[in-house]
Amino acid sequence: MSTPRAMRQSFALRFSSGAFLAFWCLLAAFPIFWIAVMSFKSPVDAFADSAWDVITGPATRANGDGLSIIDIALGVVVLFFAIRWAFTKLPALVRQYCPPGLIVLGWIVGALVYAITFVLIFFGLLPLILGVLNSLLGPLGTPVLGMTTQHYIAVWGENEFYRNFLNSMLVTAGVVTISLTVGTLAGYGLARSGSDLAFWLLILALIFRALPHSVLVAGYLPVFINSSEILAPIFGEGAPTLYGQPWAVIAVLVSINQPFTIWMLRSFFQNIPAELDEAARVDGCSHFQAFRRVIMPVMWPGVITTGLFSFLLGYNDFLVTALLLDAQNQTMVPAIAGYFNRETTTTDQVEAVAAAVSITAPLFLLVMVFQRQIVSGLTAGAVKG
Amino acid sequence: MKFKTFAAFVGPSVFMMLLFIAAPLVSVFIQSFQVTQPILEQIEVETCTPGFLTQTCTTEIKTVPVLDEAGKTVTATRWVGLQSYRNVLQMDKFWSAVGNGSWNQIMQIDFWKALRFTLSFTLLTLPLVIGVGLAIALAVNNATRSIRGPIIFISLLPFIITPVIGSLSIYWLFVGDGILTAMMERWSGQNISMFAQAWTIELLMYFYRVWHVAPFAFVIFYAGLQTVNMDTLESAVIDGASRWERLRHVIVPHLMPLIIFIALIHLMDCYRVFDEIVGFRSQAHVISLQWLTFDFMTPDDAGNRAMSRASASSMLTMIGIVLLLIMPLRRTWRDHKGSAH
């Protein structure tokens, strides 16, 4: 089918729309790309005022850290094949070796194995081979692009950023599992009940969604700090102090996330025809059995999408975790704020940049893998009202 | 569905929301009328220093906190009525500043400064987000099918990035002689520092927020554009409508519910602007209402948290939310009643 003549566009319009898109893509990607570049340079280069110096990194190269043309070429080739393999062969392998019921678990294991192999090859094997190649090849083997991983080593090794990483993982994993468990039940109930009460619950959730988080934290803080005294009559001596406990923060974040979760899951459940569970009910299932046996197998797309957004909330949160966790249990995002306070030298600044890139990298992978689910999640709430 | 089954399904969720959202609200409301302070007592202390012939002794009256057996300070909670609100609002200063007609004096009071920024931030970014989002959606809809996927991927990056990190990434482009500041200096021939005065920081914050939220608007508008009725569009062409008229009279009305949805979400999210303040480290120049509460709650050098002032300022923030939501809620209520009859 060809476009009708009247709908065809003039060259000028097509050109300007294309140019606008190109400009937007540049604008969208540039800051993220740039901090990634900065994090691999020595401080002098990272904060140089000419963009070319930041990219090529003369000072970093002068320190003896750099990549030769061979390094870059081989690295790009390996990266290309690694990514292609992940999208073409990996899904089939996971499906082949995984028992049918546990596909989610299979994916998690598959992704972990893949990530470890990739790190071993890319950062273990490749430098060894390239070291030999560079010394053999002479002019092609001399470094042309300054690049150093020292800031990452400093951040993850000396500053023990992996602790914050593990805390972040604990908090996000808790938030995702609990909010999905609680949320799917509520979302299903709300989608299948047309009562006034369901309507008012949804409106209440909408109001709760609008609340600034600082308002809620102002309510928790005194209670959490004194909780061992407040809870003592119930739990006796062993009453915990909630302040600084990751699981208390998980509970808080799950509740803050609940309004959004139930709205989103409800709109997904409304797309699943009600005839499906009515059929199950006719066959003698109770509501819970219908939910477990009939709805659960078909609800995964919605649950994965909602899970992604819960993940983002837990992972990106600054305010709640900064106020309710103490220094030992700090997650990544508030921990990076710690860099500002002791940010005295430019090395510290580049280390903060490296930490920021480390926080962004998992999100980047997430968009890469789950782009379609994120888009469908964004539109699900809006288009269906 | 019977009420009992319904209650069993939604029970856990409602329980969590009541315990962690509704209960804190009530307790914040109560806290805002109370002040908790350590009990102080005045004791006479005699300090003696060895001197020639006799000791030199001085007695002075010291104020010290009362300690209990465990060695902790004893605190007392008093009802102070609206005192905390007065401390936050500082109405006497406000009125005297209004009397002088001096805008700058009003802006020296933290609360009014934060309110001014929060409101202008919310209202200025709203049209920008909708405009930019719509423009990207139209442009992508115009592009060849094969490049749409990668463009959506790139567009999602600013949306998905941690807000604090996103604002930091822009901060690092401009801080000191960052490359973009250096570029602007080369063009203008003057010395520019983006983080020395309030208005440049604010501009960067507006830019960041539009950069961060426009992808969300884009994705939603893009999905909406797929369902535009082609017949209406073609009949508009036959009627001789220009491209611009088609946009105004066919496409925008079709997207209107989505525009309202985005506006509502954006108002809610912008009103609690917070992460930008942390990322741009702008607390000396620009603060927002939520940051004000956060600041009251962070322990000061002596380790005290100003909880009652924090509660008062969060209750004042809440009033804004209520005003913001009254309109849409009244509409939903009318729709609901309309559909019931």
Counting the structural domains of chain B, the total is 1
Region of A236 (left: φ > 0; alpha: ψ -120 to 50; beta: rest) is: left
Q: Which of A54, A223, A382 sits opposite B27 (nearest CB)?
A: A223
**For the segment B89-126, what is each residue's pLDDT rounded down to a tens digit?**
777 777 777 777 777 777 777 788 888 888 888 888 88
Tens digit of each residue's pLDDT (9 = 90 or more) over A200-257: 888 888 888 878 888 888 777 777 777 767 666 666 666 667 777 788 888 888 888 8
**Would the CB atoms of A25 and B154 count as touching at under 8 Å?**
yes
Range picked from A374-378, B5-9, B207-211 for highest mean pLDDT: B207-211
Question: Using CA atoms, how far apart are residues A288 and A185, in angstroms rounded to an integer?
Answer: 9
- CB contact under 8 Å between B329 and A47, yes or no, is no
Q: Using the beta-carbon criterion (under 8 Å), do A216 and B211 form an inter-chain contact?
A: no
What is the reported pLDDT for B73? 67
Residue B99 inside a domain? The answer is no
Distance in Å, alpha carbon of A155 to nearest chain B alpha carbon: 16
**Partner-chain residue, chosen from A21, A211, A340, that has the shortest CB–CB distance to B21:** A211
Q: How does the average pLDDT of chain A come out, rounded?
A: 77
Residue of B nearest to A323 (CA): B298
- Cβ contact (<8 Å) for B24 and A188? no
Highest-confidence segment of A19-28, A239-248, A294-303, B285-294: A19-28
Output the pLDDT for position B71.
64
DSSP three-state, residue A147: coil
CATH of the domain at B324: 1.10.3720.10
Query: Residue A38: which of B162, B172, B261 has the nearest Cβ?
Result: B172
Model pLDDT for residues B209-225, shown as the tens digit of each residue: 899 888 888 888 888 88
- Residues 288..307 of B with a Cβ closer than 8 Å to A: which? 289-290, 293-294, 297-298, 305, 307
Report the share of chain A in percent with pLDDT over 70: 86
Q: What is the DSSP string of B173-218?
A: HHSTT-HHHHHHHHHH-S---TTSSHHHHHHHHHHHHHHHHHHHHH
For residue A208, what is the nearest residue in chain B, using CA coordinates?
B21
Q: Please state, in angstroms and rounded to a whole number, the distance separating the CA atoms of residues B279 and A132.
A: 44
**Which of B2, B17, B228 to mutate: most A Cβ within 10 Å?**
B17
Confidence of residue A383 (pLDDT cuts 50, 70, 90): very low
Closest CA to B285 of B166, B192, B199: B199
Rounded to the nearest angstrom, the minimum Cα separation between B161 and chain A is 6
B6 close to A (CB below 8 A)? yes
Domains of chain A, each with CATH number or no CATH: 38-155 (no CATH), 160-383 (1.10.3720.10)
User: Is position B63 within any domain?
Assistant: no
pLDDT tens per residue, range A97-155: 777 666 677 777 777 888 888 888 877 777 777 777 777 776 666 666 777 777 788 77
Position B102 in a domain: no
Beta carbons within 10 angstroms of residue A59's beta carbon:
17
- B138 contacts A258? CB cut-off 8 A: no
| Inter-chain Cβ pairs, chain A and chain B, closer than 8 A | 295
Q: What is the pLDDT of residue A2?
A: 46
Question: Is B319 domain-assigned?
Answer: yes
Q: What is the pLDDT of residues B155-171, one digit of tens each?
A: 888 888 888 888 888 88
Q: What is the mean pLDDT of residues B195-215?
A: 85
Is pLDDT of A5 > 60? Answer: no
Residue at B186 is within a domain: yes
Q: Show residues of chain B in contact with A385, CB under 8 Å.
A: 257, 261
**Residue B98: inside a domain:** no
Chain A positions touching B216 (Cβ under 8 A) are: 378
Q: Tell me the shortest Cα–Cα distance from B102 to chain A, in angstroms.
A: 31
Report pLDDT for A344: 66
Query: With a CB-CB cutoff of 8 Å, which residues 311-340 of chain B face chain A?
Result: 311, 314-315, 317-318, 321, 324-325, 329, 332, 336
How close A219 comes to chain B (CA, Å)?
Answer: 4
Q: Is the pLDDT reported for residue A6 higher than 80? A: no
Residue A356, min C-alpha distance to chain B (Å) = 6
* pLDDT surpasses 70 at B84: yes
Q: If you measure CA to CA, which chain B residue comes closest to A357? A: B165
- CA B207, B113, B37: angle at the middle one, nearest 5? 125
Residue B38 within a domain: no
β-partners of residue B48 are B57
Share of chain B above pLDDT 90, in %: 0
pLDDT at B33 over 60: yes
Q: Do A218 and B314 touch (CB under 8 A)?
A: yes
Q: Which residue has the tokens 């999210």?
A: B269
Can you tell me the distance from the alpha carbon of B188 to that of A166, in angstroms, rounded to the nearest whole number? 47
Q: Which residues have C-beta within 8 Å of that of residue A334, sequence separation ≥ 6?
A: A318, A321, A322, A325
With an 8 Å Cβ cutoff, are B143 and A18 in contact? yes
Tally of CA atoms within 13 A in the half-sphere of B285 that contains its CB:
16
Nearest residue in A to B170, CA atom: A31
Across the interface, of B176, B179, B317, the residue whose CB is closest to A54 is: B179
Mean pLDDT of B258-274: 83
Q: Residue A194 above 50 pLDDT?
A: yes
Does the beta-carbon distance from B297 to A199 stay under 8 Å? no
In the structure encoding, which two tokens stand for residue B326, read together? 């009254």
Task: Answer whether B162 sits within 8 Å of A360, measured CB to CB.
Answer: yes
Nearest-CA distance from B1 to chain A in Å? Answer: 6
Please name the residues between 172 and 201 in chain B that touch chain A, using a CB distance below 8 Å. Answer: 172-173, 176-179, 181-183
User: Could you tell me if residue B167 is inside a domain?
Assistant: yes
Does the beta-carbon distance from B160 to A4 stay under 8 Å? Answer: no
For B6, the closest chain A residue by CA position comes to: A189
Return d(Cα B88, Cα B94) in angstroms, integer: 11
Range of the domain at B181: 108-336
Q: pLDDT digits over B220-253, tens only? A: 888 888 877 788 878 888 887 777 888 888 888 8
